[in-house]
């Protein structure tokens, strides 16, 4: 089996972000900041650190702030230079000319449909998918790419959550364990409360083979009447290697208000320039 490298990553960013209204009325939810960086930048940096060469955004109307964020900001840079200010804070955002690629989903038909919209750009090679409202600390995709180099096929990140939370996610029916890898017997999107096959959910990081696009061609709908990526992946089980991967590091669900606040606190407390102040006022608030 030759294992083709993962060079491309798809970022579905067309979602309306209704859970964060009014913040997301005129601003993409992916531009919500954790400390001083938008969510989308954390995910893009995670991908680049994992060796991804091509960034593909599946976007929609009202998302132009994302395009501007990954472009050169001439006026800003000129003004900062003229004032003798360091450009270090925005240096990392610069992309190669012609990258990222932006395509539009047009209609919100589900995560599977968003990924399928990238089929022509992905072509006939494996690709990663990163959901930017899941903020990973510790290089989740890097770890998955390393595991992929050994086993190939399809790999999804896997994380234990309390049983009361499984109905919000894609859930794995786990098979044999092999270190951090776990076999997958079945996948269920948003199982009804009490019916999940396990507590092992998929926190938005995927390495997939291009065949999943052929399954998504059928535009079959599932949970919530949407075209679900989880359902398309489920059809690959038994046909291609398919593993869950228990990554190390922290995960913050920034699609959820409490998770988003937790991310801000945790990342602020991890920074030398902010931690003392934040610790002090958190203590005072709780007292």
> What does the binding site for ligand G1P look like in residue numbers (CB under 6 A)?
111, 131, 134, 169-170, 189, 201-204, 228-230, 255
Task: Choose between 122 and 254: whose C-beta lies nearer to ligand G1P.
Answer: 254
* Nearest residue to 182 via CA among 203, 200, 207: 200
Burial (CB count <10 Å: 0-12, 13-18, 19+), residue 202: buried
CB of 280 to ligand G1P, least distance (A): 33
Q: At closest approach, how far in Å is the CB of 203 from ligand G1P?
A: 5
Separation between Cα atoms, residue 21 and residue 287, nearest integer Å: 30
Chain residue whose CB lies nearest ligand G1P: 170
Spatial separation of the C-alpha atoms in residues 57 and 79, rounded to whole Å:
29
Distances (CA, A) of 191 to 124, 164, 202: 32, 11, 13
Instruction: In whole angstroms, give the CA distance from residue 252 to residue 255.
Output: 9
Cβ atoms of residues 50 and 286 within 8 Å: no
Q: Which is nearer to ligand G1P, 259 or 274 (CB)?
A: 259
**Residue 153: C-alpha distances to residues 87, 140, 143 (Å):** 41, 17, 15
Closest to ligand G1P by CB, 194 or 224: 224
Q: How far is the CB of 256 from ligand G1P (least distance, A)?
A: 9
Q: What is the DSSP letter of 169?
A: S
**Smallest gap, in angstroms, from Cβ of residue 168 to ligand G1P?**
7
Other residues' Cβ atoms within 10 Å of the Cβ of residue 181: 18
81 by Cβ neighbours in 10 Å (0-12 / 13-18 / 19+) ranks as: exposed
Q: Give min distance, CB of 32 to ligand G1P, in A.
A: 15
Nearer residue to ligand G1P within complex by CB, 80 or 137 = 137
Q: Could you tell me the smallest distance in angstroms from the CB atom of residue 133 to ligand G1P?
A: 7
For ligand G1P, the closer CB: 99 or 220: 220
Q: Which is nearer to ligand G1P, 93 or 137 (CB)?
A: 137
CB 30 within 8 A of CB 38: yes
Of residues 46 and 189, the one with the C-beta less far from ligand G1P: 189
Nearest approach, Cβ of residue 202 and ligand G1P (Å): 4
What stretch of H or E contains 252? Answer: strand 250-253
């Amino acid at each position: 089996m030759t294992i083709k490298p993962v060079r491309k990553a798809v970022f579905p960013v067309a979602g309306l972000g209704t859970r964060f209204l009014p913040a997301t009325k005129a601003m993409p939810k992916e531009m919500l900041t954790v400390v001083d960086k938008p969510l989308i930048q954390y995910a893009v940096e995670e991908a680049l650190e994992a060796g991804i060469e091509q960034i593909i955004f599946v976007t929609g109307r009202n998302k132009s702030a994302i395009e501007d964020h990954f472009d050169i900001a001439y006026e800003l840079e000129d003004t900062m230079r003229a004032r003798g200010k360091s450009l270090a804070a925005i240096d990392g955002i610069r992309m190669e000319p012609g990258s990222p690629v932006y395509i539009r989903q047009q209609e919100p038909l589900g995560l599977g449909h968003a990924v399928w919209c990238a089929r022509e750009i992905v072509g006939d090679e494996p690709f990663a998918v990163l959901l930017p409202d899941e903020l990973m600390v510790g290089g989740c995709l890097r770890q998955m790419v390393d595991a992929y180099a050994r086993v190939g096929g399809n790999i999804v990140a896997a994380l234990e959550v309390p049983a009361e939370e499984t109905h919000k996610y894609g859930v794995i029916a786990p098979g044999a364990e092999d270190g951090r890898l776990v076999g997958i017997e079945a996948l269920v999107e948003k199982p009804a409360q009490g019916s999940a096959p396990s507590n092992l959910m998929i926190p938005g990081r995927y390495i997939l083979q291009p065949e999943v696009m052929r399954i998504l061609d059928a535009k079959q709908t599932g949970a919530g009447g949407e075209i679900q990526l989880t359902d398309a992946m489920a059809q690959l089980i038994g046909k291609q290697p398919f593993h869950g991967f228990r990554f190390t590091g922290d995960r913050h669900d920034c699609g959820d208000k409490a998770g988003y606040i937790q991310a801000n606190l945790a990342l602020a407390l991890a920074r030398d320039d902010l931690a003392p102040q934040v610790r002090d006022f958190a203590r005072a608030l709780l007292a």
